[in-house]
Chains A and B, each alone.
Chain A
Amino acid sequence: MLSIPILLTIAWLLPLGSFLAILFWAPRLGKHGSAAGLLATVAIAASFVCALAAASLWFTKYPIPSAESHHPPYGASGSQPHSQDTRLADPSARESASAPGLWTQGKAASKTQGPSQLILWNAPSDRSGSTERSSRPDQASRVSPRHELANSPTREPLGPVPLLTGDWYVLAEFGHLRLTLGYYIDTLTILMVLMVTLVATLIHIYSLGYMHEELHPEVSDQEILAGDPPQPIRRPGRFARFFQYLSLFCFSMLGLVLANNLFMIFIFWELVGICSYLLIGFYLERPQAVRAASKAFIVNRVGDFGMLVGLAAWWGAAGTFHFADSPRSLGLFSRVAQAELDHNRTGQVVSPGIREQPSGQVVNNPDYPERPVAYGLLVLGGLGVFCGCVGKSAQFPLHVWLPDAMEGPTPVSALIHAATMVAAGVYLVGRFYPAFPPEVLLVVAVVGLASLLLAGMMALAATEIKRVLAFSTISQLGLMMFALGVGGWTAGLFHLLTHAFFKALLFLGAGSVIHCVGTGDMGQMGGLVRKIPWTAGTMLVGCLAIAGAGIPPWVGLSGFHSKDAVLAQAYLLMNYIPGIGHLLFSLALIGAAMTAFYMFRLWYLVFWGRPRSLDQLHHAHESPPVMVVPLVVLSVFAIIAGWRLPGLGWGIAPALEQARPISFISGQWWPWWVVPPEAESHQDSIHVVVSWLAFTAAAVGFVLATLFYGTGLFRLPSGVGVLNGLVLLLQRRFFIDELYQRLFVAPALHLASWAALIDRKIIDNLAEKLAAAVVAVANSGDLLDRKVVDGSLVGLGQGIYGLGRQLRQVQTGLLRQYLLAVVVGTIVIFVLVQFL
């Protein structure tokens, strides 16, 4: 009955229902909309329950392989099927590992291979959900070359990637182009929906407390003073509207996650954008909030321009909007995979990990014989889509909107940073991973690393609690992008999911702090640990999780496992591409160290030491339970999200492995750039080393932070010109905003003012002249109309009217004449019939 697609559809539509209900009946929902919050919360909680049900169905149907023997867990040591040395030494293994050209299908390298995907296509017409079938029986034969290669004795045949896809509704059909709303459900979708609904539910609950002020009919906003003498501006409370937007936000994000085609992705991508605009500008009386909202929106437009180009390019390359194969045609992924397969089949292995320049020939797809997949279009599409992701995920150089977005209410920041907006960018890179050529992945990695380092540095000097967190988000998202770029698909998305928990925790904690103290300036805090112990404790958990604390190489908080996986992938890169690999790995390590430093700097500044403002401390009080409980729940998840169920070996990472898509390994243009297979990074030889290195980096950051901010033993020497300059540089965010202001905004404004001038002086003038001419023509036409046309018409009308009046005379009112008319009429008709 309740199949997985239906459950997820319900989970998706519930927030929409809540949005519509609040939209239409807000005035009736309790006093000042108090019931609206409850409605939205219940809706998203019900969504979570549906998602949970769907997930349990999913994992019952497609259990996570309990691959203790094949999967070395990230923490505990497992068996070691292939060390790097054996891989290099064993020629058969080397060949099989490299020759397919695609690091296909999940699992470890030990069990690579299999048909690309088993597509379970649910046609929109038969809704039973039980009609899953492999849509393309010929697919196995099509991919057989890889399959054979994979059948070396050490490899087990791999099961297909479970996937449910189908269309709900066909919006329009133009020739080959079908615009549909549909679902694409694999393990990644399931996990994302679970994460989004869970985090969003907790944030909704938290908001019930945090936004309590909005329940009053009149709210005075202390941030803006107006009038003479200056007084806080007063405005009506907007409790219902806040939850209305939150519901729309969740609906949009879930739609994005469920989407099965580029068109739907774009719709929900933009919906997410508009929701962030609405929520960042929630305090619309504050000019800085409005500016921040506009900035977020406009910067995202820059990214979305690239996104549109990218989607168009992919459409041009694949001829379809759908990712997955449908009964009608091959999907984008299959077409790309086939192109890559055909291209790599002609390549040769010359040395381990390095592939020869392929011929570049692309074999025609049998379904579109006239349209081979053009590699250039793939690269262009990948770059364009990544450009959109850069905007959404606030990566360098489009990161400028995110720090300003702190103007929105704190729960919104938490939602944007953890579950919805910025996560969308990383999710999309993960979703389109099969279609990203290696050239694009390199760009992804570089941009991610740049964001990691730059944002980390900016965070070092930030003084506002939410800004620090904002920079840390950019930095962590950079780490995810970096992971995806160097081939760590599982690692990057794993970090996305764990990050969602501890970043939501940190933001909600920061909100709690602001709620207690009334300001976000860390200069006025300090020593709050006694006043607000729950907040302090949960924030400490968040800091430990994001820093990656743990006991290497076994167990740690969630961030420990995910960050470990990312760094392991970077470490693996050193083996494949020495030089660049070493550089990237060490930069990533520095980023990890910085993360620990600025997070603990934040914690110490807020909670430790001596209070810097007694006034603020005096007022401080712990937040209400409705806000603390989500913090506690989130901190529990922040601790355990990276673990595996003992015995079963279930966890987020192995679950993600289940959904690993086929992806490129080497490109046509830069063949030296090889994406290392992630499975190799799971080997213990790498894992142990990396976990110790990561731990050391985090520890260095932690110790430095403790020395400078925790104990007060060291202080930054003030008055040193170089240092002051550096701090200023960091606090002004490398002057990137100013640069953009000079480079783009000011010229645009100048251009606009010039255009306005031209419009007013020249075009308006011309238009007025033209209008006068038209009026003159119209006047003469009017004269003609009135004299000639109307005259004749009036004449006709009067004629008819006169005729009518004449006819009236017939009606004399005399019965005698009437009857005479009957008789005469009958006779006339008879005569007519008879003699005609």
Chain B
Amino acid sequence: MHFREKSGSISPGFMERLLAEKWSTSSGELLRWLEAVAPEIALTGTIVFFLISRMLFPRFRYGAHIWAMAGAFLAVALALGAGLRPVGEIFSGVLVHDEFGRLFRIFLLCALVLFVVFTSLSRIPPPVVATEFYLLVFGATLGMCFMATANHLVMVMLGAEMASLPGYALVGIKKQDRLATEAALKYAIFGAATSGIMFFGLSLLAALTGAVHLPTMTARLASMGNELFNRPAELSALTLGLIFVVAGLGFKLSLVPFHFWTPDVFEGATAEVGGFLSVASKLAALALLTRLLVAWGAPLAQAEVGVASDVSLCLLATDPSTSQGSPTFVPLRPANTMGNLLGLVAALTCTFGNLAAYGQTNLKRLLAYSTIAHAGYLAMGIGAAAGTLPSFSGECRQLLASVIFYASVYLLMNLGIFATTAFLRNKFGTEEIDALAGGGRDDPALLVAATVFLFSLTGLPPLAGFMAKFVLFAAMARAGFWSLVLIGVVNTVFSLFYYLRIVRVLAIDEPRGMLGSVADSLSWAQRAFLLGLAAALVILGIWWGGLFAVCERAATSLLALG
């Protein structure tokens, strides 16, 4: 394991360190740091610009989406300009800019750009609240960028809260809508509860290791090593802390049993907000969860403790060393157990999401369950990766890379299907599936795009969704998680039913009488947006090697194998 921490001494508090180093840092280094966070600065600048302009110019809100687009494009351009070159720790170790974090930052900012374009096409938000809407979105994205690059428990907390709080408001942005208000309240309370749990977990871990800087915590855990297992109380606290953190992030990822908010919130919120939450928020949570699991799991996985082998340690992984059943001691790896548990949770999530989607009548609610199911696929990969942690052979790296790749593909296809939902709502004024019967018949572009998104979500070749599932399952199979692969494949079959049902309703079913009356056909820009996303899925489904190579590099940097 390669540690970025230079000294092994107990680090002083975060503020002290920052103050201490403020004077010792050359201005060149500070400039370098500022340069590294240029996209975040652009986001912040846009937020400030919004605040001031709204106050000074009352009519500003009509052009808000233009300015939002400008800010988002600037941010993504800066992020792309900075590229994937690792910078290392910045701001005295508060943030870390490795390839992993930077790749996720690019994903998040791309999602932001797509989202801003999408909202300016779908005419939500209404101009009255447009400024506030984009302000909240930019604020949430800023928090998510910090989540992706956090290297310090304070930044973890800050990022998670900055990403969550605007989300609560966004859900309730249609304040006269009773359903939306209820959803916002549920989301806020649920979020508050899980945040509390997560922070409790973080404080437990900080207390145990005596550090808040992630690499330092890694080093501490590694140095504690085997002796940790001789102190059951501390071990329990450690486990509890880990579980709490997983619970907090599981809320954001909507893993079972922390998923209950998802259908209610997605049904209450507009499709646009649903798209944002299901894509950007999940990606950020995924990045943070992965980083934390690697940071804490790797040293724990290296520590070994003798335990009689009659205890079934591996719930899901078929590890030949444990399945022989010899009476001797075999290594117990808590991190692997955690990983296996996460895999179990993921399998449950996936199955639950797919099955519960069956009986849904509301398109957004159905998509909420689909989102849960996809979070399950992603978490399966992370669980498997954590399960293979001590082995630095290619397996863990492959698993992480396939998860990242899946996340990027998921970004495109999920945003696409939410955009389709929003445009259908604009056209027909409803989100009930049955009411949309025959809704795609007079608009081939929409129908083709929707079909591509849904097929890709299902995972049918030759679309990107298939490749994403394929590399993920292939990596899990190579690492020996055959049961997870089996569950994933069965779930894919399950999901086929309800995804294709939407296609059937849109394309084949006879239109109901009232459909034509409110029809307001899509603009060319809306069609182009949908077709562009669909085309990207087709292209990524065929030429996926380049993106996957980038994902592999990111995974390598996270594991510090580079």
CB distance from A744 to the nearest CB of B (A): 51
| In the assembled complex, A826 has its CB within 8 A of some CB on chain B | yes
Report chain A residues within 8 Å CB of B193: 819, 822
* Known contacts A818-B260, A821-B257, A826-B197: A808-B243 contact under CB 8 Å: no
| In the assembled complex, B544 has its CB within 8 A of some CB on chain A | no
Please determine whether A833 and B338 come into contact, CB atoms closer than 8 angstroms. Answer: yes
State in angstroms the CA–CA spacing of A121 and B356 once bound together: 71
* Known contacts A805-B358, A829-B345, A833-B239: A811-B260 contact under CB 8 Å: yes
Please determine whether A830 and B239 come into contact, CB atoms closer than 8 angstroms. Answer: yes
Please determine whether B355 and A800 come into contact, CB atoms closer than 8 angstroms. Answer: yes
Q: Which of A780-836 contact B (CB under 8 A)?
A: 797, 800-801, 803-805, 807-808, 810-811, 813, 815, 817-819, 821-822, 824-826, 829-830, 832-834, 836
Report chain B residues within 8 Å CB of A817: 260
Most B CB contacts (10 A, CB to CB) among A801, A808, A829 go to A829
User: Which residue of the partner chain, among A800, A815, A833, contacts B341 with CB atoms under 8 Å?
Assistant: A833
User: Which residue of the partner chain, among A804, A815, A824, A830, contacts B257 with CB atoms under 8 Å?
Assistant: A824
Chain A: residues with Cβ within 8 Å of the partner, total of 26
Q: What is the chain B residue whose CB lies nearest that of A815?
A: B186
User: Which residue of the partner chain, among A804, A819, A826, A834, contacts B357 with CB atoms under 8 Å?
Assistant: A804
Please determine whether B494 and A800 come into contact, CB atoms closer than 8 angstroms. Answer: yes
Q: What is the chain A residue whose CB lies nearest that of B242?
A: A833
| In the assembled complex, B26 has its CB within 8 A of some CB on chain A | no
Q: What is the chain A residue whose CB lies nearest that of B357?
A: A804
State in angstroms the CA–CA spacing of A819 and B358 once bound together: 24
Report chain A residues within 8 Å CB of B190: 815, 818-819, 822
Please determine whether A836 and B247 come into contact, CB atoms closer than 8 angstroms. Answer: no
Please determine whether B236 and A834 come into contact, CB atoms closer than 8 angstroms. Answer: yes
State in angstroms the CA–CA spacing of A440 and B326 once bound together: 85
User: Which residue of the partner chain, among A807, A832, A833, contacts B355 with CB atoms under 8 Å?
Assistant: A807
State in angstroms the CA–CA spacing of A768 and B176 once bound together: 71
Interface stretch, picked from B310-318, B459-467, B481-489, B513-521, is B310-318
State in angstroms the CA–CA spacing of A670 and B191 once bound together: 102
* Known contacts A822-B194, A825-B257, A833-B341: A811-B356 contact under CB 8 Å: yes
Report chain B residues within 8 Å CB of A830: 239-240, 243
Q: What is the chain B residue whose CB lies nearest that of A805?
A: B359
State in angstroms the CA–CA spacing of A826 and B357 once bound together: 24
State in angstroms the CA–CA spacing of A826 and B256 once bound together: 10
CB distance from A729 to the nearest CB of B (A): 69
* Known contacts A815-B190, A822-B194, A825-B258: A836-B311 contact under CB 8 Å: yes
| In the assembled complex, B392 has its CB within 8 A of some CB on chain A | no
Q: Which of B184-223 contact A (CB under 8 A)?
A: 186, 189-190, 193-194, 197
CB distance from B1 to the nearest CB of A (A): 23
Report chain B residues within 8 Å CB of A826: 197, 243-244, 247
State in angstroms the CA–CA spacing of A77 and B296 once bound together: 103
* Known contacts A821-B260, A822-B257: A829-B358 contact under CB 8 Å: no
| In the assembled complex, B497 has its CB within 8 A of some CB on chain A | yes
Please determine whether A804 and B355 come into contact, CB atoms closer than 8 angstroms. Answer: yes
Q: What is the chain A residue whose CB lies nearest that of B311?
A: A836
Please determine whether A801 and B239 come into contact, CB atoms closer than 8 angstroms. Answer: no
* Known contacts A813-B264, A825-B258, A826-B244: A808-B194 contact under CB 8 Å: no
State in angstroms the CA–CA spacing of A691 and B239 once bound together: 112
Report chain B residues within 8 Å CB of A825: 247, 256-258
Report chain A residues within 8 Å CB of B189: 815, 819
CB distance from B218 to the nearest CB of A (A): 20
State in angstroms the CA–CA spacing of A819 and B251 once bound together: 11
Most A CB contacts (10 A, CB to CB) among B246, B264, B334, B356 go to B356
Please determine whether B243 and A829 come into contact, CB atoms closer than 8 angstroms. Answer: yes
| In the assembled complex, B281 has its CB within 8 A of some CB on chain A | no
| In the assembled complex, B352 has its CB within 8 A of some CB on chain A | yes
Q: Which of B285-341 contact A (CB under 8 A)?
A: 311-313, 315, 334, 337-338, 341
* Known contacts A800-B358, A833-B239, A833-B337: A811-B263 contact under CB 8 Å: yes
* Known contacts A813-B264, A822-B247: A804-B358 contact under CB 8 Å: yes
Please determine whether B186 and A808 come into contact, CB atoms closer than 8 angstroms. Answer: no
Please determine whether B356 and A804 come into contact, CB atoms closer than 8 angstroms. Answer: yes
CB distance from A835 to the nearest CB of B (A): 9
Report chain B residues within 8 Å CB of A813: 264
User: Which residue of the partner chain, among B236, B315, B334, B352, contacts A807 with CB atoms under 8 Å?
Assistant: B352
Please determine whether B341 and A829 come into contact, CB atoms closer than 8 angstroms. Answer: yes
CB distance from B264 to the nearest CB of A (A): 6
Report chain A residues within 8 Å CB of B256: 825
Q: Which of B235-256 contact A (CB under 8 A)?
A: 236, 239-240, 243-244, 246-247, 251, 256
State in angstroms the CA–CA spacing of A126 and B159 once bound together: 57
Report chain A residues within 8 Å CB of B337: 833, 836
Please determine whether A804 and B359 come into contact, CB atoms closer than 8 angstroms. Answer: yes
CB distance from A832 to the nearest CB of B (A): 6
| In the assembled complex, B261 has its CB within 8 A of some CB on chain A | yes
Please determine whether B355 and A803 come into contact, CB atoms closer than 8 angstroms. Answer: yes
Report chain A residues within 8 Å CB of B313: 836
* Known contacts A807-B352, A836-B312: A822-B341 contact under CB 8 Å: no
Report chain A residues within 8 Å CB of B186: 815, 818
Report chain A residues within 8 Å CB of B239: 830, 833-834
State in angstroms the CA–CA spacing of A836 and B260 once bound together: 27
State in angstroms the CA–CA spacing of A206 and B194 once bound together: 88
Report chain B residues within 8 Å CB of A805: 358-359
State in angstroms the CA–CA spacing of A833 and B246 once bound together: 13
Report chain B residues within 8 Å CB of A800: 355, 358, 494, 497
State in angstroms the CA–CA spacing of A803 and B311 once bound together: 33
State in angstroms the CA–CA spacing of A196 and B356 once bound together: 75
State in angstroms the CA–CA spacing of A832 and B240 once bound together: 11
Report chain A residues within 8 Å CB of B243: 826, 829-830, 833
Mask, A97-116, CB within 8 Å of B = 1, is 00000000000000000000
State in angstroms the CA–CA spacing of A826 and B341 once bound together: 12
Report chain B residues within 8 Å CB of A807: 352, 355-356
CB distance from A231 to the nearest CB of B (A): 46
CB distance from A819 to the nearest CB of B (A): 6
CB distance from B317 to the nearest CB of A (A): 13
State in angstroms the CA–CA spacing of A829 and B240 once bound together: 9
Report chain A residues within 8 Å CB of B260: 811, 817-818, 821-822
Q: What is the chain B residue whose CB lies nearest that of A817?
A: B260
Most A CB contacts (10 A, CB to CB) among B243, B260, B337 go to B260
CB distance from A818 to the nearest CB of B (A): 4
State in angstroms the CA–CA spacing of A626 and B358 once bound together: 77
Most B CB contacts (10 A, CB to CB) among A797, A804, A817 go to A804
Report chain B residues within 8 Å CB of A822: 190, 193-194, 197, 247, 251, 257-258, 260
Q: What is the chain A residue whose CB lies nearest that of B312?
A: A836
State in angstroms the CA–CA spacing of A808 and B194 once bound together: 23
Mask, B349-375, CB within 8 Å of A = 1, is 000100111111000000000000000
Q: What is the chain B residue whose CB lies nearest that of A824?
A: B257
State in angstroms the CA–CA spacing of A811 and B256 once bound together: 12
State in angstroms the CA–CA spacing of A637 and B315 once bound together: 93
State in angstroms the CA–CA spacing of A740 and B236 once bound together: 102
State in angstroms the CA–CA spacing of A822 and B357 once bound together: 21
* Known contacts A833-B239, A833-B341: A818-B261 contact under CB 8 Å: yes
Please determine whether B359 and A801 come into contact, CB atoms closer than 8 angstroms. Answer: yes
- 9 residue pairs bridging A and B, Cβ less than 8 Å apart: A800-B355, A804-B359, A807-B352, A818-B261, A822-B258, A826-B244, A832-B341, A833-B337, A833-B341
Spell out B's residues near A (CB within 8 Å): 186, 189-190, 193-194, 197, 236, 239-240, 243-244, 246-247, 251, 256-258, 260-261, 263-264, 311-313, 315, 334, 337-338, 341, 345, 352, 355-360, 494, 497
Given contacts A797-B497, A808-B356, A829-B247, 19 further A-B contacts (CB under 8 A): A800-B497, A801-B359, A804-B355, A804-B357, A805-B359, A807-B356, A810-B356, A815-B189, A815-B190, A824-B257, A825-B258, A826-B244, A826-B247, A829-B246, A830-B239, A832-B341, A834-B236, A836-B312, A836-B337
